[in-house]
Structure formats: structure tokens, C-alpha cells
Structure 1
Amino acid sequence: MKAIVQDRYGSPDVLELREVDRPAVADHEVLVRVHAASVNARDWHLMRGDPYVARLVLGLGRPKVGIRGTDFAGRVVAAGRDVTRWRPGDEVFGEADGAFAEYVAASEDVVELKPAGLGFEEAAALPLAGNTALMGLRDRGRVGPGQRVLVNGASGGVGTFAVQIARALGAEVTGVCSTRNAELVRSLGADHVIDYAREDFALGGPRYDLVLDLVGNRSLADCRRVLTPTGTLVLSGGGVSGGGSLFGPMGLLLKGQALSRFSRHRLAVLTAAPDGENLAALRAFVEDGLVTPVIDRTYPLAEVPEAIRYVEVEHARAKVVITV
């Protein structure tokens, strides 16, 4: 099969389209013929081995997992002997390492039926970004009806889902984004939009029950300043770019964890993990008309390096999708 393979850390130039063996399928896994995948900030962090401290887990000299990509949508072509939920022909979406390829092996519990009415490209945009937004708002943020929520980074891959999910949970949503993305964020249901080029959300203005920071470009003090006395700050910072750092966004997250013990506000650090139940919740949101994936651009599999370069350098809005 064809796959995007990486033998060393570096720029998108280290990614190559090669012929490799199909992945073996374990007893609890399914083999999926990938029709579409999507690019996340995670992909270029892994590509560059950034931050450097992460290489203790990813692989010191080279990545342990040589095929990039996480999000996928496609059809099941084979199932391990212990798999009970899926069978060949099922149209699914999910998360697994090695998604920038013609086939991917995934544990059965991180796969879900593709939402009715969505194409493979739209379904591939959902898993990691949608799951991150859902966990940040529902699980870490405990968002409920009538609460005020501010999403910093509202036009990004996670942010576009966060705006919609916060609205679906009954919140009043303010999105922070650039001038060129303001109309997009409004169209997703944001009640208020702050153009960061014209207005600083941290200087006065309303107070929020939850600030979901997806950018990591503001200090903890700035974010806490706009919280209500019992408000919650959820830190992600996964979209922070700038290679060559020792700790990267992890520095801000670790500081947030340390300060959470002494703050009157709730400070939560968001670490999203693949979860089949969350994928089912996202499917329900989509099928109920509450969430719609937004796609900025699509690229063929051979152009994954260009797609990752676009996400890393051009700060793509919404999702960038790979067609396979």
C-alpha cells in the first residue's frame, strides 16, 4: 500500500510517499480502507519531534511510529477474531496512528459508524479535533445551559467544533479569531466574535464561566482576568507553532497545573485521548444538525507534506483533509 513515511525528525521535507506492507490486524482490531484523513497540529509536532522533551516518548533519534496521520474515515475490510461490533463493508471513522495511508489498523473501541449524511472527507475531519473540543467543554469545562464561554482560537480545527459544541450544550459563546475568519465563526453559531487585531479580550469587558484556550498565546493571568469568580480555565495549547522548543506548549500546561492548586478559579489541562463513546456523541451531534465539520482545503495523499506545511505556517482555518 501507499503511505506517508517518516524516518527522521524535521520539516515536511522528511515525509515521503512509499510502498509499504499493509498493517497486520490484531485480534481486537479492524483493518480500514482509508478514503480520507485529516491533518492536525499533532502531525507537525510529531513530524518535528517538537517539543524536544516529547522525544523521550516518541523516539529519541527517530519516530517510533513511521507513518504519520491520526484521523481517518473509510470502510472496514477485515476484522480481528475478537471483534464483535464491526464487519467488512461498515463505513466508519476514528483515530489511529498511521492514517496517512491506504489502509490503517485501529482498535475496535476507537472506531465509530460514519455519521449519516456525511461524506468520508467531512467524517475524517471529526475525530481528534471534535473529541478535543468535546472533552474540553463537557468534561473539563463542565459547560451547562446559560453559561458564558469564550473560545480563544475559534476558527481553528478544534475551535470550529468548540463553538458549535458549546452552543449545542446551551452556552452563550464568544469566539476569538482574526479578521478574515470572523464571518466563519459567526456562521458556526457564535453569539459574539472578538477580532483579536482590533480588540483584546483580556482588557475589561464581560466575564466568562469558561475560557477554552486553544492557542496558548496569552498568559494565565490574562485568561484568568476575564473569568467569573467561580469560572474555569481549560488549557490546551496544542495549536502553538514554532519548532525547536524544549517544552513548547507543555510549559504553559505544566504551569497551569501547578497554579491550579492555589487559584480560586478552576484550572484544567486538556489532554484528549481517543474514545469511542465520544465519537458516538459527535456522530449524534452531527446527525441532529448541531455540528457540521468545516473544511478549509483538501490535498491528495501524495501532497501530505504540502498540507502539513500549510497547517503549520499558514494557520489554516477549520480542517485540512487528505483524500486517499
Structure 2
Amino acid sequence: MANQAAILDQSHGPLVIKDIPVPQCHPTEVLVKVKAVATNAADWKIYQGHFPQVLPALLGCDVAGEVAEVGRSVIGLNVGDRVAGFTQQQMVGMQSMMATGSVASDIRHGGYQKFVPMLPRMIFKVPDSVLDEIATTFGCSFFTAAAGVFKSLGFPFPIPEGAPVREKVLVWGAASAVGAFAVQLLTACHVEVIAVCSAKNFDYVRSLGASHVIDYRGGDVVTQLSGQDLKVKKAFDAISSHETCNACLDIVGEGGIVADVQFLEALRRPGIEMEHINVVDILGEAQAPLLSSLINDWIPKFVATGILKGVQSKIYSGGLNDIDQAIRDHRDGKIAGKAVITGI
């Protein structure tokens, strides 16, 4: 087997295509032959030097592909299985940041290569009816949304079947990749979702299950909610700027809870819970029962039945050579949802 990777060896890029050794498959891993990858915000932030990063680095968290080798301790996966999920790249980076204050150079775990080692607890088997282009969007964004819904907001898992709609939850940034998965997961939890996004995405978020839509460009969101007699005590802020987080805090009020995807401790207010959504919270060993049920049962079932639809994306078909442009387009706001690169 020959391996190539799109490597970041200088801040601001461009990525450079290099021949590198095929990563060794450790006993607890599977080696995946990559078919498609998807960008996420962490990629372009590292690309731009927003984090202290030791170079060279191999980016990429979201992968779909085929199992090429199975570690001797792994059960339930076989060579040839179609899989998708989340590489160890971001988790290893976070651990390095916490230990040393910077992200160590890592050219083993990134998804932007032809072969990548992955942990079974972070991947799922892809149903035959689902394309790689859809499956690869179920990476960082899905697990971040799951951490927000089940850990930060406290919705139960396994999800009770046939339960009545219990409450309303506001999702700000509902058309973003994380927000779109949050809408789908909350809908599956029998929640009445109020989606805040631009008007051009109203039909899209309704197709994901949103019951109400609010245009954040159409005037004060708090006023719009009041005009529609929509009251919520829980909000999922998938954007988490100072502006959006403050608006969510205003909306839920005292006794409410806001889940945010950034560290915004300075905005914390008495009487309102703020829960930072950390994807590592759901990927660690401590959450193995929840993660195992999500990965092995829930995701494949609901992807196959269409309840989970993935997220909107722009397709790039040029393989490793297209990743640099896809990251730049994601950075520049030219991507709705995900950039998906095929032909790896």
C-alpha cells in the first residue's frame, strides 16, 4: 500500500502533497482506506495560525472509507466494511494543548491522507444506501451536536420511543453543520425546535425537523419570538459569538440553560446555566456506553431510515489536491455546511 497526505508545513498554507508511510495499525485501531473527507472550522483555524501549532501537521477529522486492516484487539469490524466517523486528530491535539500549551506536530491521525488509523468507538458502519459524500459529514460536527444535546442540555439517551413533544429548544445557527445536526438530534428527542438562521435556509432547516424558523437578519430575535408567542428555557448556540450568546441568554432568562461551542465564561450571568460543549466529553472512555450505543445501533439505523440526513455540503472531486481550496473556501464563508472532498 502506498500513502499520500496533504500536509500543512507552514502557517496559512498551502497544503503540500507528500508521500508518507502508511500509519501502523495499533491493536485497538482499524486502518481505514479513505474515500471522502470533510472540512470543519478547526481545520481553517489551525491553517490560519489561530492556535499555537507545531508544524508540520496533518489536518482532517471527518472521514468516510473502507476498513483495510483490523487491529488484533478489535471486534465487530472486518476488512472491507464501509465506515465513517471522527479521526483522533482533534482529540490528540486537545490533549497536547492541555499538556504543553501548544498542539504538537502530528502526521499520523489526520484524515487528509489515503490511509488513516481510527478508533472503533469513533466510527460507524455505513449502510449500503448511504453515499460516502453524506457519511463523511458525520464527524466532528455530529459528535459536537451529540455532546451538546445529551451532555450539555441533558436530554436522555437512549431516546424514549413514542414520547410526546416535551418542550421547545432554540437552535441558533441551525443551518451550520453543528446546528443542523443539533436540529436533527433534538427532533429525534421529541423536541419542538425553533431554528434561528437566515431566511434562505428556512426550507433546509424545516426539512431537518425544525417546527419554527426565525430570521436572525429580520430584526431583533427576542422580539420575533415574542411576536410568535414562542418561549424557551433551553438554547443551543452553534455560532457562539458574543452577540449570539448574549441573545440566547436574554431569550432563556433566569432558570434557563445555554449550550455554547466556545469558551465564553465572561458572559456568564447569575441564575442562567452556561454549558460549554466539548466534543471530547462524548469521545472519551468514560462515555463508552453512550458512544457505543450511538455508534453501533442508533446512527446506522436512523441514517438508513432517513431520520438522520447528514448536512448540506459542497462537493470537491479532485482528491487530496482539492483540500487546500476547500479549507480556504470554508474559511472565507463560501461553504454552507461542509466542504466534502471525494476521489481520495
Residue of structure 2 equivalent to 1:312: 331
Residue of structure 2 equivalent to 1:199: 219
Residue of structure 2 equivalent to 1:87: 78
Aligned residues: 295
Flag the 1:156–1:220 CA change in 2: closer, same or farther, 3 A: closer
Letter in 2 for 1:279: I
Residue of structure 1 equivalent to 2:275: 268
Structure 1 stretch displaced more, 93-102 or 271-280: 271-280
Flag the 1:279–1:202 CA change in 2: closer, same or farther, 3 A: farther
CA–CA distance in structure 2, aligned partners of residues 283 and 24 of structure 1: 28
1:223-251 per-residue CA deviation (whole Å, 9 max, x = no partner) reads 211115432100114xxxxxxxxxxxx4x
CA–CA distance in structure 2, aligned partners of residues 100 and 288 of structure 1: 30
Residue of structure 2 equivalent to 1:113: 125
Residue of structure 2 equivalent to 1:173: 193
Percentage of pairs with the same residue: 28
Flag the 1:84–1:5 CA change in 2: closer, same or farther, 3 A: same
| 1:226 aligned counterpart, secondary structure | helix
1:83-103 per-residue CA deviation (whole Å, 9 max, x = no partner) reads 223221111112113111111
- Please identify runs of 4+ aligned residues in structure 1 that moved more than 3 A: 278-281
1:156–1:316 Cα contact (<8 Å) kept:
no
CA–CA distance in structure 1, aligned partners of residues 122 and 44 of structure 2: 22
- With normalisation by structure 1, the TM-score equals 0.84
Letter in 2 for 1:255: A
C-alpha RMSD of matched pairs (Å): 2.1
Unaligned segments of structure 2, at least 5 residues: 90-109, 157-164, 284-290
1:159–1:318 Cα contact (<8 Å) kept:
no
Q: 2:9 aligns with which of 2, 7, 32?
A: 7
CA–CA distance in structure 1, aligned partners of residues 330 and 41 of structure 2: 7
Residue of structure 1 equivalent to 2:135: 123
Q: How does 1:140-159 map onto structure 2 within 5 Å?
A: 140-143=152-155, 145-159=165-179
Q: How does 1:191-270 map onto structure 2 within 5 Å?
A: 191-203=211-223, 205=226, 206-217=230-241, 218=243, 220-227=245-252, 229-237=254-262, 250=263, 252=264, 254-255=265-266, 259=268, 263-270=270-277
Flag the 1:18–1:224 CA change in 2: closer, same or farther, 3 A: same
Query: Is the counterpart of residue 279 in structure 1 residue 270 in structure 2?
Result: no
Greater relative contact order (Cα < 8 A, sep 6+): 1
1:165–1:290 Cα contact (<8 Å) kept:
no
CA–CA distance in structure 2, aligned partners of residues 303 and 78 of structure 1: 27
Unaligned segments of structure 1, at least 5 residues: 238-249
CA–CA distance in structure 2, aligned partners of residues 80 and 184 of structure 1: 40
Shift of 1:157: 1.0
